[in-house]
């Protein structure tokens, strides 16, 4: 079995991916059925086999289940940290249990995937968030997990916001002065990047600060849609600030399957890497949908080993656009996220301030 570190994450064809990833998923189904009694009971109730011959047949859990049950496949003493989903204080939050092995693996996979885009050298990094977000080592929110995970890609980490999420102009200006015109890395959750960074710099009259910048952002699109800001507007305005050559990559992910990240390519499509896969299921029948048909998004990953989160049916709606033939040159399924299921609470990694 080929080791994951030897795989080019964005250049594995469907046939190659199935030969590598499907056995990994089957092993995780077996592992969690043996070590998580609640998961085993759910599987017994479905009557599904533990060994799937196709990705479509891998048993899945509904993402909402993690709000109702604490699902763990490790002893309590081996729990390294517990991640919680974002949401308002009135909402029940998902609890995701990580041991050291899973936490380490998700970080390494994330770095391997994103460094295939950024390159191996670490760039100066501006984090559009507040300092101290990840101080609680026993557990933190999806936002904190995102900041910690992506921080491994950069150096000279600079937090752009104060505790009240207002811009820290002293730190921002020092970063601009030190690295203006150089190749830098920027990360933040979409709404926060727009509201507390792009808009503020625009109002100050700043332009073309980092033409060689790479910006990764995720989550919080509902707040921007309310402000009539779509993906095109976000990119075009952000490039006014950073520079026309800046690379801007949205990505799709969730705390329920931490480390499974679907990155947007240069043509605006979200891609499943070699380490994960995606299925769109008909909302009514839950059968796999055809290319171009809207349905519920199911995500799969080889990372979750401390909890049964390797195959999850999300509450998001999407559409498969193609596979292995995107004009950007990346392999894998590529897709778009359309929105949330009707009557499903709106949440996102940037929702809670």
Element (H, E) at 128: strand 123-130
The top-scoring range by mean pLDDT among 117-131, 143-157, 219-233 is 117-131
Residues with Cβ < 8 Å from 24, sequence gap 6 or more?
A: 302
Dump pLDDT digits (tens) for 17-58.
Answer: 999 999 999 999 999 999 999 999 999 988 888 999 999 999
Q: May I ask the CATH architecture of the domain 105-251? A: 3-Layer(aba) Sandwich (3.40)
Q: Give whole-number Cα distances, 17 to 166, 278, 311, in Å.
A: 44, 12, 16
Question: Taking the domains of the chain in order of start, what are their residue ranges?
Answer: 4-61+272-340, 105-251
Residues with Cβ < 8 Å from 65, sequence gap 6 or more?
A: 71
Cα pseudo-dihedral 104, 109, 112, 115, rounded to 10: -90
**Common-topology check for domains 4-61+272-340 and 105-251:** no
Give the mean model confidence (pLDDT) for residues 109-136.
89
Dump pLDDT digits (tens) for 68-113.
Answer: 999 999 999 999 988 887 654 446 788 899 999 999 999 899 999 9
The count of other CB atoms within 10 Å of the CB of residue 8 is 11
Q: May I ask the CATH architecture of the domain 4-61+272-340? A: Roll (2.30)
In degrees, to the nearest 5, what angle opens at C-alpha 256 toward C-alphas 251 and 260? 40
Q: Give whole-number Cα distances, 149 to 111, 134, 348, in Å.
A: 8, 10, 17
Return the closest-CA partner of residue 237 out of 262, 271, 208, 213: 208
**CA–CA distance, 273 with 255 (Å, rounded to integer):** 17
For residues 349 and 198, which has the higher predicted lDDT (pLDDT)? 198
pTM of the model: 0.90
């Amino acid at each position: 079995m080929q080791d994951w570190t030897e795989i080019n994450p964005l250049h594995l064809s469907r046939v190659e991916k199935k030969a590598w990833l499907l056995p990994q998923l089957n092993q995780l189904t077996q592992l969690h059925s043996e070590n998580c009694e609640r998961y085993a009971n759910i599987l017994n109730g479905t009557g599904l086999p533990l060994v799937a011959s196709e990705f479509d047949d891998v048993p899945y859990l509904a993402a909402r289940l993690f709000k109702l049950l604490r699902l763990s496949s490790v002893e309590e003493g081996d729990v390294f940290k517990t991640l919680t989903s974002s949401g308002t204080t009135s909402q029940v939050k998902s609890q995701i249990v990580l041991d050291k092995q899973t936490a380490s693996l998700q970080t390494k996979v994330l770095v391997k995937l994103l460094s295939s885009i950024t390159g191996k050298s670490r760039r100066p990094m501006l984090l559009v968030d507040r300092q101290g977000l990840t101080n609680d080592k026993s557990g933190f929110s999806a936002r904190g997990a995102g900041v910690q995970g992506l921080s491994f890609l950069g150096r000279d980490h600079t937090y752009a916001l104060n505790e009240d999420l207002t811009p820290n102009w002293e730190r921002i200006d020092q970063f601009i002065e030190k690295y203006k015109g150089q190749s830098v890395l920027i990360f933040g959750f979409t709404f926060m990047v727009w509201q507390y960074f792009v808009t503020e710099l625009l109002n100050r009259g700043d332009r073309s600060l980092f033409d060689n910048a790479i910006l990764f952002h995720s989550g919080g699109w509902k707040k921007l849609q309310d402000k009539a800001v779509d993906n095109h507007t976000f990119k075009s305005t952000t490039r006014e600030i950073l520079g026309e050559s800046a690379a801007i990559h949205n990505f799709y992910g969730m705390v329920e399957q931490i480390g499974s990240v679907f990155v947007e390519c240069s043509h605006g499509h979200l891609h499943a890497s070699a380490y994960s896969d995606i299925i769109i299921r008909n909302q009514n029948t839950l059968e796999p949908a055809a290319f171009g048909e809207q349905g519920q998004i199911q995500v799969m990953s080889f990372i979750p080993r401390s909890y049964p989160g390797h195959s999850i049916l999300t509450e998001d709606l999407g559409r498969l656009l193609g596979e292995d033939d995107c004009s950007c040159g990346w392999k894998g399924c590529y897709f778009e996220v359309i929105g949330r299921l009707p009557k499903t609470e709106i949440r996102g990694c940037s929702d809670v301030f």
